[in-house]
Amino acid sequence: MTLARTRKALDTQPSDDYTAPFSARAVIWNGPGNGLSIEDVVLDPPGPGEVAVRMLASGVCHSDLHILDDDWDMPSPLVMGHEGSGVVVALGPGVGQHPEDPRVGDHVVLAWTAPCGRCTRCADGDGHLCAAPIGGDHRTAKDQVRIRRTDGTPLGIHCGIGTMSTHQVVATQAAVRTDPRLPAVQASLVGCAITTGVGAALWTAGIQPGDEVVVIGLGGVGLSAVMGAALAGASRVIGVDREQAKLDLALQVGATCGVLATDDAQTEAAIQRKCEGRPDHVIEAIGLTSTIELATRLVRPGGTTTLVGLPRADATAALDMYKFVFSGSRIVASNYGSAVPCTAFPRLVRHAIDGHLPIDAIISHEIALEDVEAAFDAMRRREGARQVIVFD
Ligand code: APR
Ligand code: ZN
Ligand code: ZN
């Protein structure tokens, strides 16, 4: 896959005074049917428990496209983006006193679920399922607006982080310190695709050495699941996609073979021909009803289907219940790779630095903020792999 480097200089210069309201430039979704705009915005200095971050990179994920295509019920106007890395540039009052707090100059990856740390699910170690995640209402913290249009209109920020902005103010729990040796463009993907996909393979599915694994859908998330399956020691990893270029890429990041998806019956037969019997694991990384149903049919009796791709809000799927109950197999849903960001991000970054996660291979384009519409068009056409906005 060719790496297009079409970055242009930003129109706005980064601010360096964060003690008073400061300016930034952001991608804003204007509500159903009203598309995107790229605007100058005004940020408040960070409040207690918050930090200001100068963003370095933000990936473009299919979940962003779901919002733009009105697949989900989301508040608007909303600063887009939930997959980003940056540098802490200012601390809110009181931040820095706890040893785990971020400091100015720290490199951080932003988490789209920042666990509250107080609910029973957090206490059980399932922070990804937190009952009251910080940023869950698409604000910096509950009811807290830190970013506005220049006319004063309050803006939501996607999942409390809104990474498609030159700067952002986020809760400290959402800013996870990571090793700066991993280039920021690669680190940004740890915020969603890598944690979602690698985590699904390692932590939700629990793939074991020697397992046979099928991954359906080879975008940023599915390719990350391929990397995770390879890291877990799967003996065979079969990538499935409608695009030959995605199969080629999957082979570069750990797949042992690929199946070009055509119609469902042919695809099912082609996958079965590649497997000895049926696979131990199937990971679905698209979120389509047809491929979710295909995944549940493919897995061996007693095996595990892991659903990663997020469907439209109104999607349903059918199961052949008699066969399914007899099969003794499992269907599990994977939210954020069953990962707790503050522990998972540094581990995944270490894996990448050590050469065990070829994140760079799945970055097809580095783009400017102004090119984001074109990036979404390319994603609709199933072109490229991960496209990443790079902030200068
Ligand atoms: N059969 C096989 N492959 C398909 C099909 C299909 N019917 N339809 C789409 N694909 C492939 C595309 O060619 C593409 O490679 O699925 C891949 C989807 O990749 P992206 O659009 O890049 O999506 P990604 O960002 O990886 O997200 C995947 O996970 O987090 C969720 O909301 C996200 O639902 C989305 C999913
Ligand atoms: Zn995402
Ligand atoms: Zn919680």
Query: For the segment 25-39, what is each residue's pLDDT rounded down to a tens digit?
Result: 999 999 999 999 999
Q: Which of 60, 62, 294 to mutate to test the pocket of ligand 1 (most atoms within 8 A of CB)?
A: 62
**Ligand lying closest to the C-alpha of residue 286:** 1
Name the closest-CA residue to atom 19, ligand 1. Answer: 219
Cβ count within 10 A of residue 274: 16
Query: For the segment 295-313, what is each residue's pLDDT rounded down to a tens digit?
Result: 999 999 999 999 999 999 9
Name the closest-CA residue to atom 2, ligand 1. Answer: 241
Q: What is the pLDDT of residue 116?
A: 92
Q: Stretch 78-95: mean pLDDT, rounded?
A: 97
pLDDT level of residue 16 (50, 70, 90 thresholds): confident
The answer, yes or no, to whether any atom of ligand 1 lies below 6 A from the CB of 239, is no
Lowest mean pLDDT among 34-38, 77-81, 119-123, 143-147: 143-147
Structure tokens of 32?
A: 């159903």
Distance CA 270, CA 128 (A): 35
Distance between Cα 193 and ligand 2 center (Å): 6
The yes-or-no verdict on residue 9 having pLDDT over 70 is no
Strand partners, 110: 175
Q: Which residues surround ligand 2, an ion (CB under 5 A)?
A: 61, 63, 192
**Ligand lying closest to the C-alpha of residue 340:** 3
Mean pLDDT of the chain: 94
The yes-or-no verdict on residue 8 having pLDDT over 80 is no
The yes-or-no verdict on residue 123 having pLDDT over 50 is yes
Distance CA 114, CA 388 (A): 22
Compute the chain's Rg from CA coordinates.
20
Q: Stretch 370-389: mean pLDDT, rounded?
A: 96
Q: What is the pLDDT of residue 15?
A: 57
Query: For the segment 186-243, what is each residue's pLDDT rounded down to a tens digit?
Result: 999 999 999 999 999 999 999 999 999 999 999 999 999 999 999 999 999 999 999 9
Beta pairing class for 363-367 and 4-5: parallel
pLDDT level of residue 3 (50, 70, 90 thresholds): very low
The percentage of the chain sitting over the pLDDT mark of 70, rounded to a whole number, equals 96
Q: How far is CA 308 from CA 30, 82, 253, 337, 362, in A?
A: 27, 16, 19, 8, 18
Strand partners, 79: 28, 157
Q: Stretch 117-146: mean pLDDT, rounded?
A: 92
pLDDT level of residue 80 (50, 70, 90 thresholds): very high
Q: What is the pLDDT of residue 143?
A: 85
Q: What is the pLDDT of residue 276?
A: 78
Query: For the segment 320-351, what is each residue's pLDDT rounded down to a tens digit?
Result: 999 999 999 999 999 999 999 999 999 999 99
The answer, yes or no, to whether any atom of ligand 1 lies below 6 A from the CB of 286, is yes
Four-CA torsion 53, 78, 199, 382, nearest 10 degrees: -120
pLDDT level of residue 56 (50, 70, 90 thresholds): very high
Query: For the segment 271-288, what is each residue's pLDDT rounded down to a tens digit?
Result: 999 987 899 999 999 999
Lowest mean pLDDT among 40-44, 136-140, 315-319, 333-337: 136-140
pTM greater than 0.85 (yes/no): yes
Q: How far is CA 66 from CA 62, 309, 382, in A?
A: 6, 11, 14
Distance between Cα 223 and ligand 1 center (Å): 10
Name the closest-CA residue to atom 13, ligand 1. Answer: 382
